[in-house]
A = this chain, B = another copy of it.
Amino acid sequence: MDIRTRILKAAADVYASTGFRGATTRRIAQEAGCNEITLFRHFGSKACLLHEAVRCAGMEIAPTTLPDPPRSPRAELSDWAHRQHQHLLEKRSIIRTCMGEVEEHPEIFPTADGATDHAALGLTTYLAGLKAHKLTAVDFDEGAAAAMLIGVLFADAMGRDIMPKLFPAKPEQAVTRYVDLFLRAIGAVKQ
């Protein structure tokens, strides 16, 4: 692997587990298996390195999309939710660290082009499509509904390892149940 890539990965890992202050240049260099100076030669400063490392770590996402003409809400939403949850679960460490430091280092937080915003937009559009195609029996606010589904997926992925009482079920089972509840909440027509 390229040394630059190795450094970026090491920086993201160390940052995820120790935060900005804890991610010392010495430790990142050790984790990357290179000399400390090489970091500075490549990225100039610790701040620039971490900034880019977090940006790249967030960019690895393969954004799951929902079909444009919705056909089978249950199947499509279930598939989408499981993928989103899986992704959040894998990245939970760096996401939690980023969120914990967003007030001190807002510039390091991937905001506008973040995956979550993208996911929210996609889901909202999909839900609007559901209504347009008469696949729901009741009226509801797409924005609130999207926030609700994404919210519970997010909270579950962030909290299940540290608050096991709140999320006792296994990940896949839990997500399936969330989707079930969600479908009923938006009055999805059974197929």
Contacts and interface: CB of A to CB of B under 8 A. Distances in A.
A162 B180 CA distance: 29
A189 to B, nearest CB: 14
Interface stretch (A1-9, A13-21, A58-66): A13-21
Interface in A149-191: 150-156, 158-159, 162-163, 165-169, 174, 177-178, 180-182, 184-187
A19 to B, nearest CB: 6
A147 interface: yes
A147 B163 CA distance: 11
A143 interface: yes
B167 A147 contact: yes
Given A121-B165, A154-B151, A155-B152, A144 B185 contact: no
User: Main SS of chain A's interface residues?
Assistant: helix
A163 B117 contact: yes
A43 interface: no
B104 A162 contact: no
Q: Top 3 nearest A-B pairs by Cβ distance?
A: A100-B100, A151-B155, A151-B152
